[in-house]
Amino acid sequence: MNSTTMRRAGLSIAVAAALTGVAACGSSGGGDGDEKGKKKGSVALSPIAALRTIQDKTDSADSAKVEGKTVMGTKMSMDMAGSMEWSDGITGTMTATLTGGTQAEQMEQIGQSKIDYRYLKNGFYANMGDKFAEQAGGGKHWIEYDYATLADMSGAAGDAFKDQMQNTTPNQSVKMLLASGDVKRVGEETVRGAKATHYSGTVDAADFTGKNADLDAEQMAELRKQFKQVGLTTQTIDIWVDADDLLVKKAEKGKMADGDFSQTAYYSDYGTPVSVEKPPASDTMSFKDLMNQQPQA
């Protein structure tokens, strides 16, 4: 097994981690929207006012179970399920099952179609399986992806990724709608048998991500260039909220150079206990070490 294959697999792991159910570019912000809103008692709230309530309620819930599906053009499609906690940074566990795309094919080369993730405050870990451990990992199954290291290796996109992974919570989709400027209340619908209110809006992906990561002008120009290269400009954001003002579903859609991007995630069991253990150091190698491996591993 050559090192190019392993590096590509390692990158696929990082992309998949960024696309789990809570991963969404997010920032606080505001905007004007349709004044037809959700009723709270006898008072009709505007979409903006309703979303601010939803943002606060979801943020204070601290944890939830997450499951969903992501399609990233021709590169990747995957299903994911797990639980996340966000009272003090993002922690949690998630299992991603790769179901198609070129990056899934790369993972198949190392005999891995299902990836177990562990998220901690300063980075995340991915279990690469026995074949990786035997042939390239020096007997180690886990790869460590330290956020600071990833940021150093990836320029402006890395800074944005670091901020996203350390600060994203389910209510980031709500914040995206607040910042979109054109949020509207679509109406009442049913999500998995329960009544929910549907809101929708459109966001400039690069601008929103850059503002969230507090990038300077030079970094912002680089980020826009990187977004342009993958063809992602705007994203449509839809959320569904239950009677307790908690997010129960989100859907994000956008166009990419190699196809459509879409992600749908469902949130349930808010307040669920979440326990995460750091993999043992004896069974872990760093992503940086993987990328620096010699031509033949």
Name the residue ranges covered by the structural domains of the chain: 3-291
Are 55 and 178 within 8 A, CB to CB? yes
Most confidently modeled range among 39-48, 64-73, 175-184: 64-73
The predicted structure's pLDDT at residue 28: 32
126-150, pLDDT tens digit by residue? 998 888 888 777 899 999 988 888 7
pLDDT of amino acid 26: 33
CA atoms within a 13 Å half-sphere pointing along the CA-CB vector of 199: 34
DSSP run (H or E) holding 108: helix 102-108
Name which of 158, 170, 131 is nearest 22 in CA terms: 170
Phi and psi of 110, rounded to 5°? -110, 15
What confidence tier does 200 reach under pLDDT thresholds 50, 70, 90? very high
pLDDT, averaged across the chain: 77
> Highest-confidence range of 32-41, 91-100, 284-293, by mean pLDDT?
91-100
Question: Which of 83 and 206 is assigned the larger pLDDT?
Answer: 83
Which pLDDT band holds residue 175 (cuts at 50, 70, 90)? confident
Reduced to 3 states (helix: H, G, I; strand: E, B; else coil), residue 54 is helix
Pick the CATH number of 3-291 from 3.90.320.10, 2.40.50.140, 2.50.20.20, 3.30.499.10: 2.50.20.20
pLDDT for residue 13: 63
Distance CA 44, CA 288 (A): 53
Q: What CA–CA distance (Å, rounded) separates 261 from 232?
A: 8
Give the DSSP letter string of 248-278.
EEEEEEEEETTEEEEEEEEEESTT------P
Region of 139 (left: φ > 0; alpha: ψ -120 to 50; beta: rest) is left
